[in-house]
Amino acid sequence: MAKPDYVLFDRDTTAIIFGNQQAAVQRMLDFDYLSGRKKPSVAAVVNPTGGSKGFMSVFYGGREILIPVYNKLGTAVEQHPDADVLINFASFRSAYNVSMEALSYSSIKTLVIIAEGIPERQTRELIALSKKVGKWIIGPATVGGFVPGAFKIGNAGGAISNLLMSKLYRPGSVGFVSKSGGMLNEMANMIAQNSDGLYEGIAIGGDKYPGSTLLDHLLRYESNPAIKMMVVLGEVGGTDEYEIVDALKSGRITKPLVAWVTGTCVKVFPTEVQFGHAGAMARGEAEAADAKNAALAEAGAFVPNSYDDLGDLIRMVYEDLKAKGVIEEKVEVGPQELPVDYKPSIMRRPTNIMCTISDDRGEELLYAGVPISKVIREGYGIGDVISLLWFKKRLPKYVTDFLELAVKITADHGPCVSAAHNTIVTAMAGKDLTASVASGILTIGPLFGGAIDDAARYFKDALTRGLTPKQFVDEMKAMGINIPGIGHRVKSVQNPDMRVKLLEEWAYANLPKHEMLDYALEVEKITTAKRNNLILNVDGCIGILFVDILRSTGIYAEEEIDEIIAMGTLNGIFVLGRTIGMIGHFLDQKRLHTRLYRHPWDDVLYMLPGEDEVLKYQGPE
């Protein structure tokens, strides 16, 4: 549902946070919880320096939840197309580049820039671009702001006690905007004490060129029927307040406006003083606070005599609107109750272990959120169960079919291969099932069975880099690496591996596109021309097809596919399948009551060095 233009944030708004800002995220979630939002307002976090992706563990009320963390903004935006706010915590050095990137994404509508100290020209360029693409910038050099009961930016609003004190968990009728972020809380509190509270409060930041101006936000408030009166806190320096004067005079602002411009002290200062805010430096009479206050009063704003009287004036304007019936008495809504024994420091002990695939605590066991009863009664296959527990989603049927096919094909390959051999020898030594199977599993690695990952990785990389099959083969040869997934000890062109043929048949029947397989078969043509046993083997075929399949689902970004491979998922298929065979071999040995195995001498080539040769490094006694 499209929001009206004047609404930047509502109860459904979600944001991406750029920067590893655990505290800020937690404060947003505290606000969300008190406000009774349906879902947390933070969709994702981007941590560009962490390198690794993963999750940030935070609390929603008393419950711990996980927010996805990405290392690239682009991925976060792609994965969370509903998040239309980016809160940019990047430092002044990189804030510009991150902001430029953010403005290029169509799903991001509002950009909040926290950093202080961004060069003015960079800020102006960002502003120019934001106007061109029709987006809002709040900041730089700000804490942001909040829409009580709906959405809160980062650290704005401070601690929970302040959210409660200033009633930021539910909307009032007053729209507030200031330059100063520090004064945002103070004013929210003052406004809560003297009216029914804030509807929205924004700090535009203390820089000379804020991304959006005081007037920009007042005009939004003017358009928003839920806002009945407005309060603005201006500052000495600059001429932004005169835009408000013009808007009052031309009738673009009609709602009652209480205004105060700070910096009246400057007149007694002997020389120029740079205040805490970069923009607060009066050049000329017009930029002086007194002149601005006078102009605002003359244009019809309510202007107090000093800041000290500001609260009283807000109360007067509010009471007047209430007497006129413009503001109706609202039923006071309380915050969502925090747990009774809620003490952040005690309740919020972060856990040491995270789990996102299964949960045994409820009435029923859950596999990735699916109750076990559903898995059984609705006839989920083994492929579906693998899909739930490995990929945290029920993948389409052709994918789970493939998983089952791969498990079946890799289940066993006779007694002579490493895993079966070790299992058999261990079983013959009288060990139990787990020890025997474990000794078999431990042989799975780069030379045996473990080529699935590597095949997927090398072929995918070559194809991504646009290498022709010939270039790929030459490159691998030059590096002295045997191509993973190519070659078999006994099978050859003349004596093809039926398992590979079956996988290929499946691919032709079930996949509309199989780019990786086609590429691998071209590579095979080249390698088999050299030696006829350099065929695409079963490991290679599974690895390669799995990439084709993951791509065909449209669920995963390339980067995520890389990560699935890097984690070792594909080797998991082999380990899982082959375990069936190893258990079989163990049981077979037990049934046959086989005795301890001893390898025959004549099958070992003994080639020891002479005694003199060995001892000659000792030196004379």
Q: Which is nearer to another protein, 157 or 440 (CB)?
A: 157
Q: Give the binding range for another protein (CB under 8 A) out of 114-122, 474-482, 500-508, 554-562.
A: 114-122
Q: Which is nearer to another protein, 21 or 426 (CB)?
A: 21
348 sits near another protein (criterion: CB under 8 A) = no
Q: Which residue has the tokens 């079966």?
A: 420
Asked about 277 being catalytic, the answer comes back as yes
Residue ranges in 163-192 that form contacts with another protein under rule CB under 8 A: 165-166, 178-186, 188-190
351 sits near another protein (criterion: CB under 8 A) = no
Minimum distance of another protein from residue 74's CB (angstroms): 23
Number of residues that bind another protein (CB under 8 A): 69
Minimum distance of another protein from residue 483's CB (angstroms): 47
Q: How far apart are CA 569 and CA 375, in angstroms?
A: 22
Minimum distance of another protein from residue 189's CB (angstroms): 6
Strands 54-60 and 42-46: unpaired
- Residue 50 sits at φ, ψ, to 5 deg, of -65, -25
Q: Which is nearer to another protein, 71 or 193 (CB)?
A: 193
* Residue 54 β-bridge partners: 69
Single out the residue of 45, 46, 156, 313 in contact with another protein (rule: CB under 8 A): 156
Report the SS3 class of residue 85.
Answer: strand
Residue 267 is encoded by which pair of tokens?
Answer: 């007149």
State which H helix or E strand residue 235 sits in: strand 229-235
Report the SS3 class of residue 93.
Answer: coil
Q: Give the binding range for another protein (CB under 8 A) out of 98-106, 112-120, 467-475, 583-591.
A: 112-120
Provide the terminal-to-terminal Cα distance of the chain, rounded to the nearest Å. 93
- Amino acid identity of residue 2, one-letter, is A
Minimum distance of another protein from residue 347's CB (angstroms): 17
Under a CB-based contact definition with an 8 Å cutoff, are residues 192 and 198 in contact? yes
* Residue 201 β-bridge partners: 146, 176
Minimum distance of another protein from residue 20's CB (angstroms): 15
Minimum distance of another protein from residue 197's CB (angstroms): 15
281 sits near another protein (criterion: CB under 8 A) = yes
234 sits near another protein (criterion: CB under 8 A) = no
Q: Contact letters (x/-) for another protein, 305-324, by CB under 8 A?
A: xxxx--x-------------
233 sits near another protein (criterion: CB under 8 A) = yes
Single out the residue of 4, 117, 339, 350 in contact with another protein (rule: CB under 8 A): 117
Catalytic residue among 80, 217, 277, 585: 277
Single out the residue of 158, 371, 396, 572 in contact with another protein (rule: CB under 8 A): 158
Vertex 586: Cα angle to 583 and 587 (nearest 5): 85
125 sits near another protein (criterion: CB under 8 A) = yes
Q: Which is nearer to another protein, 40 or 206 (CB)?
A: 206
475 sits near another protein (criterion: CB under 8 A) = no
C-alpha pair distances (Å), 181 with each of 142, 284, 302: 5, 25, 22
Minimum distance of another protein from residue 283's CB (angstroms): 10
Residue 224 is encoded by which pair of tokens?
Answer: 């928003």
Minimum distance of another protein from residue 207's CB (angstroms): 8
Residue ranges in 547-566 that form contacts with another protein under rule CB under 8 A: none
Minimum distance of another protein from residue 185's CB (angstroms): 4
Q: How far apart are CA 114 and CA 99, in angstroms?
A: 11
Vertex 85: Cα angle to 83 and 90 (nearest 5): 120
Single out the residue of 10, 120, 359, 505 in contact with another protein (rule: CB under 8 A): 120
**Which residues have CB under 8 Å from 88's CB, separation 6+?**
18, 19, 95, 98, 99, 102, 111, 112, 113, 114, 115, 139
Under a CB-based contact definition with an 8 Å cutoff, are residues 558 and 572 in contact? no
522 sits near another protein (criterion: CB under 8 A) = no
Under a CB-based contact definition with an 8 Å cutoff, are residues 453 and 570 in contact? yes
Vertex 604: Cα angle to 600 and 610 (nearest 5): 130
Q: How far apart are CA 68 and CA 53, in angstroms?
A: 8
Single out the residue of 5, 10, 63, 159 in contact with another protein (rule: CB under 8 A): 159
446 sits near another protein (criterion: CB under 8 A) = no
Single out the residue of 39, 93, 348, 531 in contact with another protein (rule: CB under 8 A): 93
Q: Which is nearer to another protein, 126 or 473 (CB)?
A: 126
Strands 229-235 and 198-203: unpaired
212 sits near another protein (criterion: CB under 8 A) = no
Minimum distance of another protein from residue 352's CB (angstroms): 26
C-alpha pair distances (Å), 287 with each of 139, 291, 293: 21, 7, 10
* Residue 67 β-bridge partners: 56
| Max Cα-Cα span within the chain | 114
Minimum distance of another protein from residue 47's CB (angstroms): 19
Q: How far apart are CA 577 and CA 573, in angstroms?
A: 6
Residue ranges in 249-278 that form contacts with another protein under rule CB under 8 A: 262-265, 267-278
Q: How far apart are CA 607 and CA 489, in angstroms?
A: 26
Single out the residue of 49, 51, 52, 161 in contact with another protein (rule: CB under 8 A): 161
Residue ranges in 20-59 that form contacts with another protein under rule CB under 8 A: 23-24
Nearest 10 degrees: Cα torsion 485, 488, 489, 494: -170
200 sits near another protein (criterion: CB under 8 A) = no
Residue ranges in 53-92 that form contacts with another protein under rule CB under 8 A: 92
466 sits near another protein (criterion: CB under 8 A) = no
236 sits near another protein (criterion: CB under 8 A) = yes
Q: Which is nearer to another protein, 218 or 236 (CB)?
A: 236
Residue 403 is encoded by which pair of tokens?
Answer: 């998983």
Minimum distance of another protein from residue 462's CB (angstroms): 39
C-alpha pair distances (Å), 231 with each of 165, 237, 318: 19, 19, 11
Q: Which residue has the tokens 């996102």?
A: 356
Q: Which is nearer to another protein, 182 or 568 (CB)?
A: 182
| Composition of the chain by helix, strand, coil, percent to 5 | 45, 10, 40
119 sits near another protein (criterion: CB under 8 A) = yes
208 sits near another protein (criterion: CB under 8 A) = yes
CA contacts within 13 A on the Cβ side of 563: 13
Q: Which is nearer to another protein, 235 or 454 (CB)?
A: 235
**Which residues are identified as catalytic?**
277
* Residues that bind another protein in the complex, under the rule CB under 8 A: 23-24, 92-93, 116-122, 124-125, 127-129, 143, 155-159, 161-162, 165-166, 178-186, 188-190, 206, 208-209, 233, 235-236, 262-265, 267-281, 289, 305-308, 311
